[in-house]
Each structure stands twice: as C-alpha cells, then as structure tokens.
Structure 1
Amino acid sequence: MIKRYYSFGEYLKEIFGKKVYKVNVDAGFTCPNRDGTLGYGGCIYCNNASFRPPSCVPEISLTEQISRGIEHVKKRYKAEAFLVYFQPYTNTYAPVEKLEKLYREALSFPEVIGLAIGTRPDCVDEEKLELLRDLSKTHLIIIEYGLQSIYDKSLKFIKRGHDYSTFLKAVYDTHERGILVGAHIIVGLPTETREESLAMADEINRHPIKFLKIHQLQVVKDTVLARIYEREPFKVFEYEEYLDFVVDFLERLSPDIVIQRLFATSPDEILIAPKWNRSKQQILNDINKRLEERNARQGSKCSFNRHRALCC
C-alpha cells in the first residue's frame, strides 16, 4: 500500500522500532484565557469536554492516571511503550518547579518513552524551555502549541489572547533548544476563505514545525461560538467538502511534517455542527480513499525546500 501521508504512528515506529501508545492525563492546569489573566471563559470555541477523554480525571493523582492508562492499553493492545500526553488546558501554565515535578513523575515509569505537552505559545519562557531541553536528553519531548490560525483577524475573532508573532517566537525559541515542536490549527473559521485556510500549509512549511494537528471548526454547546452560530449560522464544512479540503491541504504540506490528527471529533451530545454521523475510523478510511482516488500524497504540490531553508 502506498503511504499517502506521514503519520504519527509511522514516525514513532521509525524512532523506537515498535508501536507507541498515548496515555492522556489531566494534571489539573487551567488557562490564562480562563482565570482572568487574559480573559474568562476561554476561546470562543472552547468546551473542554469536546476533546477531553473520559480517562482524564484531575481528581485522580497523575501517577494513578498513568498507571490506569498503561494497564488498560496493555490489556487491549499488548502495548510496551507509552507517550504521556498532558492534554487539557495549558500544560506549561505553572511555576517551573511544579512542572518539573509533574513531568519527572510521568517519566518515572519505565514504559514511558516521552511526553507530549499541549500548551499555548504565550505560556513558555526560557526557564521552562531549559527544563524541557534537559528532559529531551533522555526522552522524546514534544511541545504542542495551539496556533489555531496564522491570521491575526481570526485570532482576534476567537479571542485567542495572542497574535501570530507570539506563536512564531515560541516556535523558534523551542526549536533552538532542540525540542520538537507541534502545532494545532483550526480550518474553516468564518473569518477565512477556503484558500486562506489552505495557505496555512504553505506558511507552516516555512517554520521548524515537526508535527501538525488539523481540526475542522466544530460548534459545540456551552460556548460563545455556539451562541454566535445560533444567532447567525455560518458555513461549516460539509463531509465531502472536508475530504477534498484535507487532500488539498496535504498536497501543499511538506512531506516531512508528521500528521498527528486530520480531523476533530466531539461527543454527539454536545456537538451542534457539523454533524457528519461517521465514526473516527470511517472518516479516516474516507480520507485515505479520497487520497487514492485522486492519486494524491502529502507534499506532491509543495515546492518549498524545507531542508534547505531550515538548515541554512
């Protein structure tokens, strides 16, 4: 079978020679866009229940969450290696002493080969990045920055609380220390045209971003975005339309960027739009099928020489 895009599973197998499974944890962080530092309520699309796995329970200790997660995945998949994913909210939003304690606690498990840390680009500093550089000497450390959009007009609309230049500074400060960088983007915001969303692939190619998560905009209950949508519904991706969009995006994206996610899913009970009524596996299968139908692959329409630009 032809490999149409560079998947995260493929990357991990190349590095470790075996499958690596994620264990999601909630270490009890909050967000400066929720606690009053930058604002209250978070970004306009944010309902943490839309992406928090049921296994993430902050009332349970970090060690217990990891132990349960490892035990569950071992039984189900006979897994041997794990990546602990600090997922909900902003997982560098604490003093460095607290961060070091939590990160080292997670890495104390012999089966844990590294950490993926989801955070905001305005919540890192030199001291925190030095800690991550130290941890990366012995483990795989990936810091995943929520970008959402390269357009300041969109960041303002979603009340993100930072601009695109803040993201770029965090990316280069992180990369210069040898720490692997990931980014999350949202496509289909009402502030952007289809071409503007596609152009994010070209822009991401220009910077030292190793991993990418692509989410279609979802409207979920109990958010500011839901109230906006109720008053004045805006266009969201139809299913077939999104399949074509993802293929177009992947074709423009450099082939050495690792794809961690190609679409978002939210629980049916809180999802307002778009409602595709497909399982995760069905969506993934249909994306692969569309890639095959179009004989498309990641990077086939990318003319930017990332290696030369980032190494010289």
Structure 2
Amino acid sequence: MHRFYGLAARLRQSFGERVQKIPLDFGFTCPNRDGSISRKGCIFCSPQGSGSGLHGLSMSIPEQWSHWQEKLSKLYTARLYLAYLQSYSNTYCSREELKCALDQLEGLPGLSGICIGTRPDCLDDDKLALIKSLGLKETWLDLGLQSSNNTTLKRINRGHSAEQFAEAVKMGNRHGVDVCAHLIAGLPGETTEDFLESVRFLNGLPIAGIKFHNLFVCKGTPLKKLYDAGKYTPIKKDVYINVLVEAISILRPDIVIHRLKADAVPGELIAPEWVRQKRKVLNEIEQTMKAKGIWQGCARKDAPDRPPLWYGPEHKS
C-alpha cells in the first residue's frame, strides 16, 4: 500500500473508479522555442516537446483520442479518462485559439477531466476562466517550475523566474483550477539541499499536486552537449531515491503526487540507463520509504503520528 497520496487515490475519491490519462497533441509551440524568449528551449527538453508527436502525423484530436483509448483499453479496464494536453505549452496562444482547441474535446467518449501542460508565463485570468468553464470534475494545470532557485532557472534556460511561477499558481487558485507543479532532481549545479528547498517553496504555495522528475539526457538537447563534453553527470539511482524519499517526508500531506519518476520517450534516452527500469525503481522507492518508516509529510512539525487514512486500509485501526 502506498505511503503517499497518489493521483490514483485522488481520482478514485473523485470518481469511485479507475481513471486513465490520454495524452493529446494540439500542435502548440513554446515561447522558449519560437524566439519570443529563446530558440534553444530548456536544456533538457527534446525537440518533440515531451509529447506524442501525433499532431505532426495529421491526426485530429478525436482520432488521437480513439488511438489512445483503443491502446489503453487493452491494458486497463478504465471507462473514464482525463485529457492530458501534454506537448509543449498548451496555453501559449490567444484566448480565442485556446477556446477553439478546447472545443475539440466536446463529445469525446469517457472524458471526465483535463490536465493542461503549460508554462507560468503563458497564463492570464481570461484563459483560466475559460478552462474552469469546461465544468469538468478534475481540472488541472501541469505547471513547470523545475527549481525554485533563479540561478538554476537561468542555467537551464527556463525563461521565467520562481516568482512568476508563484504568481501563476495563485492566479490558478483564484479560479479554482488545481495546479500540479513539476520539480526536477539532478539539475546541473544543484545540490540535494537545493532540491529540498524547492519542495519547501512549493509547500508555501496553494498547489494541489506535484510531479517529481529525475533529470536524464535525451537526444537533440543542449544537455546532451554538456554530457558529451563531460560537463554534466546524471544523478545516480540511489541518490535520486534517497533525495526523493526525503522530499516526500517534508511534502504537505494534502498535495497529490502525480509522478515519482520521469520516463524518456522510446528512442530518445542517452543516459542514465537506470531510467529504463521504471517498475524496479518505483518498487525501490516504496521499499526505501517502508524501511525508513517514512510517509508523506511525516517530517513536518504538524504531522500526525501515523499516515492519514486515505493512504489505504492497512493503516486503519
């Protein structure tokens, strides 16, 4: 049984059954790639923008939905789905363009919620009001922070500050849109304490979720050039597991953990090899938490003396 508040638990609380995500590619770009901020992109971002690339194959949104629904139905028994606008920055457009995109979701079978991947500098009140007006039970913004250290953000060419991220979170909160913050361990020049300080920074903001990422090197990225030149060494598996477990111990227990480990798109990974061992690494994270007696928020001053009941029946008494 998980020792943290996972997305699966949150969705079962909301819907009473399993819910799956379907990634969608609307063909949006990013101000960090089109020249508005930069043309280089973040140093870790692949040319494909961490998405499926199906828009480039001229697949419409209903066609993409059917494609993934058919694949997922063979693996899971889910009837309900979250639309995950994944590729690049999905609010980097006008309100009218965003409305045209969101209108394409209407009538998709099983659609029950939405997750929109974007940047903190691509949001405003009108767009957030539009997103909230969809009236879906689960409405999430996947918002990249990566680090609360502005020196690191400049080093990795994020193109925004931690302060801009904080303002975007507060704006989303005012509109009743849940924010899932993205955080990366193993960034160039960062220490374990830098990563934990980013967790503390997020604890002080009205975020509802978090995705933890382990930095890895992909083809076609500026990070690969650093790696090839011997100027970047990827985080080791044991180091990642230990810092992640410590981060979970100080994380607010009401924050939903959407992800514990990042995965590379097939064919893109350069290093480290342990990134390919998804199930093994997840099992080791769970085993480490159990061995150390750690559960989400246990190191906080306001922590109860046992995991909250929503962690699962094995903790009830």
TM-score of the aligned structures, taking structure 2 as reference length = 0.90
Task: State how far apart, in whole Å, the 1-side matches of 2:181 and 2:57 are.
Answer: 24
Pick which of 263-272 and 18-27 moved more: 263-272
Task: State how far apart, in whole Å, the 2-side matches of 1:73 and 1:206 are.
Answer: 37
Q: Which residue does the alignment assign to 1:34?
A: 33
- Matching residue within 201, 204, 225 for 1:203: 201
Is the 1:5–1:259 Cα contact (8 Å) retained in structure 2? yes
Is the 1:212–1:258 Cα contact (8 Å) retained in structure 2? yes
- Matching residue within 279, 283, 286 for 1:288: 286
Pick which of 235-244 and 203-212 moved more: 235-244
After superposition, the Cα gap between the structure-2 partners of 1:37 and 1:49, relative to the gap in structure 1 and judged at 3 Å, is closer
Deviations 1:105-144 (A, max 9, x none): 2142241001100000000112101101212x34421011
Is the 2:49–2:88 Cα contact (8 Å) retained in structure 1? no
Pick which of 205-214 and 70-79 moved more: 70-79
Deviations 1:62-118 (A, max 9, x none): 111012222322243222100010001000111212211222321422410011000
Task: State how far apart, in whole Å, the 1-side matches of 2:181 and 2:275 are.
Answer: 27
SS at match of 1:208: coil
Q: Aligned-residue CA RMSD in angstroms?
A: 1.9
Q: Which residue does the alignment assign to 1:69?
A: 68
SS at match of 1:260: strand
Are 1:257 and 2:255 matched, yes or no?
yes
Instruction: Work out the number of aligned pairs and report it.
Output: 303
Q: Which amino acid aligns with 2:19?
A: V
Q: Which residue does the alignment assign to 2:190?
A: 192
Q: Which residue does the alignment assign to 1:92?
A: 91
TM-score of the aligned structures, taking structure 1 as reference length = 0.91
- Matching residue within 233, 236, 239 for 1:235: 233
Task: State how far apart, in whole Å, the 2-side matches of 1:199 and 1:169 are.
Answer: 18
How much does 1:210 deviate?
0.6
**Percent identity of equivalent pairs:** 37
SS at match of 1:276: helix
How much does 1:289 deviate?
1.1
Task: State how far apart, in whole Å, the 1-side matches of 2:284 and 2:276 are.
Answer: 10
Describe how 1:120-135 pairs up with structure 2 within 5 A: 120-135=119-134
Task: State how far apart, in whole Å, the 1-side matches of 2:82 and 2:136 are.
Answer: 13
Q: Which residue does the alignment assign to 2:154?
A: 156
Task: State how far apart, in whole Å, the 2-side matches of 1:268 and 1:143 are.
Answer: 25
After superposition, the Cα gap between the structure-2 partners of 1:108 and 1:48, relative to the gap in structure 1 and judged at 3 Å, is farther
Q: Which residue does the alignment assign to 1:142?
A: 140
Pick which of 114-123 and 55-64 moved more: 55-64
Task: State how far apart, in whole Å, the 2-side matches of 1:19 and 1:147 are.
Answer: 28
Task: State how far apart, in whole Å, the 1-side matches of 2:285 and 2:55 are.
Answer: 28
How much does 1:15 deviate?
0.6
Q: Which residue does the alignment assign to 2:179?
A: 181
Is the 2:186–2:235 Cα contact (8 Å) retained in structure 1? yes
Which 5+ residue runs of structure 2 have no aligned equivalent? Answer: 304-317
Is the 2:51–2:88 Cα contact (8 Å) retained in structure 1? no
Q: Which amino acid aligns with 1:219?
A: V
Is the 1:50–1:265 Cα contact (8 Å) retained in structure 2? no
Q: Which residue does the alignment assign to 1:4?
A: 3
After superposition, the Cα gap between the structure-2 partners of 1:55 and 1:27, relative to the gap in structure 1 and judged at 3 Å, is closer
Is the 2:142–2:181 Cα contact (8 Å) retained in structure 1? yes
How much does 1:267 deviate?
4.2
SS at match of 1:145: strand
Task: State how far apart, in whole Å, the 1-side matches of 2:140 and 2:182 are.
Answer: 13
Deviations 1:229-256 (A, max 9, x none): 2223333211112111111110011111
Task: State how far apart, in whole Å, the 2-side matches of 1:46 and 1:275 are.
Answer: 18
Is the 1:50–1:220 Cα contact (8 Å) retained in structure 2? no
How much does 1:288 deviate?
0.7
Task: State how far apart, in whole Å, the 2-side matches of 1:49 and 1:302 are.
Answer: 39
Q: Which amino acid aligns with 1:109?
A: L
How much does 1:226 deviate?
1.2
Moved over 6 A (4+): none
Is the 2:24–2:64 Cα contact (8 Å) retained in structure 1? yes
